[in-house]
Chain A
């Protein structure tokens, strides 16, 4: 016999208001997304005339066809995937190892190392020295210039260290030691399996960073065939929004060509570039929830 508690009138009004607010909030967050999707499927004429508000107008695939016919977009896509996968694997490996070392209290230079690492958060070497350094290391114009310099992320290492210290009980280390395990075995058999949530956090951070990275590729790569997607996208989108105020002459054929190209591609490019992350996110998201839960119940 389960009886639902009947809601009082006040409760119902209250709930109604809550749902209304939530509804408005949902619309506010969803609308831009739907708008972009709708625009990407609309005809360019409708876009230019500002006729798209909610649903696609004169639906078609012109935008997508133009994107997919653009060879540079495809190669940029492939490059971005390569940089993201390798950059993430390398970054997570290096950073979690660093985090583990920093988490061991009996490691003597721990404080000094932490201090040294922290300095790099606030002071970088500067663009030109970094460029010269990469040049001397013969890493310019290779994948290494993109994935190696940021592989050890101090901020994420600190997050990882805190996680290991607070969420993995020290007793486990004692237990491992009693069973004859050393530091490396403790790390690989105990810490890594228990640190999955933080690994997910690291992976997502690195992946996101590499997916969106633009500036280092711009500076350190010289071949158009190595450019990641973001450079290609930005280049297509930016070309007609150049500040024309100081230009001496405007070649109208050129200007019109670019104007049309970017109007057509703007929305489909946004969709094409963000789709993979939109798809991947739900699969990683469960680790975030787990990550929040861990440590909340202490027993």
Chain B
């Protein structure tokens, strides 16, 4: 049943023959039936660039990692999950499969979003959302969809119960701690919390107060001890570093890709790049990591070739926009936007800003990891989030901005009206605030957003013509 699906996901015939039994078992546990398979194949064929072999290979990496997650309990001694924040420390360690011993580490929230929703289509996530809604995360309450995926997948036993859950008690996001406390109450999963909070000098971003960093770092060290207690694996500084180096090998070509999107004409679609980027930052089994490095390298080479050939997804001179948070599990929206005579130049926190490139102020591993997160701007607070968008828009030299912060994120979303005002004032270009829930397609539809996007695209085009 899954042959065609694996084929469009970039598996070679011999890989299909060899890996099918295991992947089939995982897909059956997830609940991908015949109809789901047909829809997924059609979705991939309709929305993803068929010529990028590297991206096809990356889809195969995602499907393999999905199987690794679903079968983690039977294939590993210990299973540990963490909330997707990229907060370094433990997570850096987890990123490297080589260092994990017999411990499977994953961020199911993000992997399910990317690999299940992002590749098989948004509808494949709906059963997880519905299961979460029946298990303490009711519909209509603006719960974060990422956390709902995890709770729903645990409730449906799509993913195994971990031995430990790492989460944020308060650092960057307070919804995470609540969702994972719910996981503890419902499934008796031990939870370790990295705490953090605001600081009176919280409005001086990009300068981050040292105490703001050290408090969170202290709680992170406590979590590292908990990890060692549960798994029997002590996290050394070397292992953390190796983990990050492994992830960096995947990320480097991806960062190159985001840079190549600044070229004119834009050589590659936004959906392909953003999905690759987020898949690249996830922990992986060592074999899969090797494949990911190869695939991203191949994809970067293919796109570079397009640049050299002057080949693009839109004509040279097409106006560019910044799209703050794209719906990674729904390619139809990005597809629709890129057919309106504009291209998406950046968004999703992919472009590293100058602030992020600065050396850390505190050398210890945990502190530098946390400082890196806060420097991201939108992980710091709503004000710095707007400033980070502004910096990215300036860097990308865009002609318009769509502030599409996901509505259920109380970290990114609350200041959207003020972010819109700031960007309009500072950049003098059209800015559209688009209310959407990037996790849950039941709350919006591409077609419903079409008329607003069409009108916006016209304004952007007119502004770009007037500017030039």
Co-complex (A, B): no
Residues of B at the A interface (CB closer than 8 Å) are none
Residues of A at the B interface (CB closer than 8 Å) are none
